[in-house]
């Protein structure tokens, strides 16, 4: 097994996170925003795994399971909200649901 330097893994995680973040900020479609959030969560997961293998600890992989579970719950709630939003506004544009302003 080739030992990749830990920096490569973290850079990968950082790039994934940035991609997800840009997706959240730039996309207007709620489904794509949810997908971008998933990417960000997975980026965090990659970072945990890399760190775990670096220190040879199982904690990183345990944390990833937590993230996975949390992401599943998040997606189920998120998709329910998306369905609600679609039936109310007949659109999936996040900016259309801006009635709750100060």
- Taking CB under 8 A as the rule, does residue 94 contact another protein? yes
Contact between 82 and 30 (Cβ < 8 Å): yes
CA distance 38 to 26: 15
- Taking CB under 8 A as the rule, does residue 28 contact another protein? yes
In angstroms, the Cα distances linking 5 to 8, 10, 79, 89 are 6, 9, 38, 49
Residues in contact with another protein, counted by CB under 8 A, come to a total of 14
Q: Which stretch binds another protein (CB under 8 A): 19-27, 54-62, 65-73, 76-84?
A: 19-27
- Taking CB under 8 A as the rule, does residue 102 contact another protein? yes
- Taking CB under 8 A as the rule, does residue 24 contact another protein? yes
- Taking CB under 8 A as the rule, does residue 49 contact another protein? no
Contact between 77 and 47 (Cβ < 8 Å): no
Contacts to another protein by CB under 8 A? 21, 24-26, 28, 33, 94-95, 97-102
């Amino acid at each position: 097994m080739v030992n990749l330097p830990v920096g490569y893994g973290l850079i990968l995680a950082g790039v994934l996170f940035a991609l997800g973040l840009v997706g959240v900020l730039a996309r207007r479609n709620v489904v794509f925003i949810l997908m971008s959030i998933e990417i960000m969560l997975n980026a965090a997961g990659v970072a945990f795994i890399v760190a775990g293998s670096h220190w040879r600890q199982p904690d990183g992989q345990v944390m990833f399971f937590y993230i996975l579970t949390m992401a599943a719950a998040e997606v189920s709630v998120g998709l329910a909200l998306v369905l609600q939003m679609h039936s109310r506004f007949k659109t999936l544009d996040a900016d259309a649901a801006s009635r709750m302003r100060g």
